[in-house]
Amino acid sequence: MTGHGYLALLRQREFAGLYAGFTLLAGAGTLSGFALGVLVQARTGSPFLTAVSMYGSSFAAVLGALTLMSAADGERPRRTLVALHLLALAATSAQAVPGLPLAARFGLLLAVGFFQSLGTGTRMGLLAEIVPPEGYALARSLMNVTAGGAAVLGFALGGALLTVLTPYQLMGAAAVLTALAAAVVAATVRERSVRPPRRPGLRETWRGNVELLGRPGRRALLLNLWVPNGLVVGCEALFLPYAPGGAGTLLAASAAGMLAGDLLVGRLLDAARRARWAYGLRLLLAGPFLLLAARPPGWAAVLAVGVAGVGFAATLPLQERLLALTPAAGRGQVQGVESAGRIAWQGVGAALAGGLAQWVEVRWAIGALAGISLLVTVLSRPAVVREGRAVAAAARPVTAGGA
């Protein structure tokens, strides 16, 4: 890619607005999730509840994907996305109320998670219509990089602000960012009128999901997009009990590694090289976490977590393969389901990590989840390789015809 590729995208008003809204919302989610994790850890001292508070909304995301996702390809995606931003604003504002019971906080967490996958699917469907086909991969890379950057700033800033602010005030700051995200999207993104009429609902959602999961190769791709990531996120969910004074630094290091990996893989590599690197990046994602089981010095733990974060970039080539198998009319739903499953497995990973840490030392729980992530990557590789060959074979006639 040329050095001005991102700038060319940002000159498009609609993309710039969609991107800015996504950035603000990602920052808000990082701040509010970190604040809630700190609050739950202080109140309960439970590794399980702390992990679930930071990533528990992931459980509800899969329910949204199973029931609502066809709305991501509806006639009025802009209105849908703005409404979902406003819902997130209401929930984040409620979390900022000091006297709210923990049960109510977890209820709000699940409610936001339920609609989170629909928001992602709607946003990605809009993205596919706003940017030209040749710019889609670059746009997705920029949004991945931004998510990593927002997490770096959010965790680092959150850790610093908690020295002068309460967790409730930090959640109030997250609510302000969410409100700005809704305003930016409403002001810059136009409604799309080119979509065919659909009747979103449970039946349409199930029909699309059954079609998506109908091929073994797609299931293998989804397995690799969901499970290794989710288990590593489970490792990260234990950072607060693992290093109470340095959790923000560890989380920021992971996000920084993610940002670096997306820059390298998304901008500097072409599609063929991205595909070749996918397996090695998956191994890199989990391998360094095995070091944490040995309780290394703080600087070594931060370095290991940062290096592991680069491995998250394996998601991009796998998403490209999945998109190549997706009809244009269902892009929003397919991308929403992929995102929901990835988010849901983050919740599963957090719950597994927290539950395991109730029985063994936190460092051993981190090592165990990292080892399982590596095992899943290795055992599922043959199916992913077969699907990659099928995608390449299917693309060759299309390329030739287009030429």
HEC secondary structure over 179-223: HHHHHHHHHHCCCCCCCCCCCCCHHHHHHHHHHHCCCHHHHHHHH
- Confidence bin at 164 (pLDDT 50/70/90): confident
Q: Return the CATH superfamily for domain 9-189+202-395.
A: MFS general substrate transporter like domains (1.20.1250.20)
pLDDT computed for residue 398 by the predictor:
44
Q: Is the pLDDT of residue 3 over 50?
A: no
Say which range, 226-235, 258-267, 276-285, 310-319, has the weakest mean pLDDT: 258-267
pLDDT computed for residue 221 by the predictor:
80
Give tens-digit pLDDT for 347-364: 788 888 888 988 999 999
Q: Is the pLDDT of residue 125 over 80?
A: no
CA distances from 168 to 94, 99, 360 (A): 10, 10, 32
Q: Is the pLDDT of residue 286 over 90?
A: yes
pLDDT computed for residue 402 by the predictor:
39
| Residue found under tokens 């729980």 | 365
Q: Is the pLDDT of residue 233 over 80?
A: yes
Q: Is the pLDDT of residue 288 over 50?
A: yes
Enclosing H/E stretch for 18: helix 13-44
Q: Is the pLDDT of residue 150 over 60?
A: yes
| Residue found under tokens 């919302």 | 25
- Confidence bin at 403 (pLDDT 50/70/90): very low
Helix (H, G, I), strand (E, B) or coil at 362: helix
- Mean pLDDT over the full length of the chain: 80
Q: Is the pLDDT of residue 277 over 60?
A: yes
- Confidence bin at 21 (pLDDT 50/70/90): very high
- Asked if residues 61 and 340 have their Cβ atoms less than 8 Å apart, the reply is yes
Which letter does DSSP use for residue 244 in this model?
T
For the chain, give every domain's residue range. Answer: 9-189+202-395
Euclidean distance between CA atoms 233 and 370, whole angstroms:
10
pLDDT computed for residue 2 by the predictor:
41
Backbone angles phi, psi at 99, to 5 degrees: -85, 5
- Confidence bin at 201 (pLDDT 50/70/90): low
**% the chain with pLDDT above 70:** 78
Residues 6+ apart with CB under 8 A from 75: 192, 193, 195, 197, 198
Tokens of 169: 């005030």
Give tens-digit pLDDT for 176-186: 999 999 999 99
Euclidean distance between CA atoms 303 and 110, whole angstroms:
33
pLDDT computed for residue 158 by the predictor:
79
- Segment 276-305 shows an average pLDDT of 91
- Asked if residues 325 and 212 have their Cβ atoms less than 8 Å apart, the reply is no
Higher pLDDT, 244 or 402: 244
Q: Is the pLDDT of residue 237 over 80?
A: yes
Helices 13-44 and 136-161: angle between axes, nearest 10 degrees: 40
CA distances from 145 to 167, 181, 220, 309, 355 (A): 27, 18, 25, 12, 31
- Asked if residues 348 and 58 have their Cβ atoms less than 8 Å apart, the reply is yes
pTM surpassing 0.75? Answer: no
pLDDT computed for residue 305 by the predictor:
94
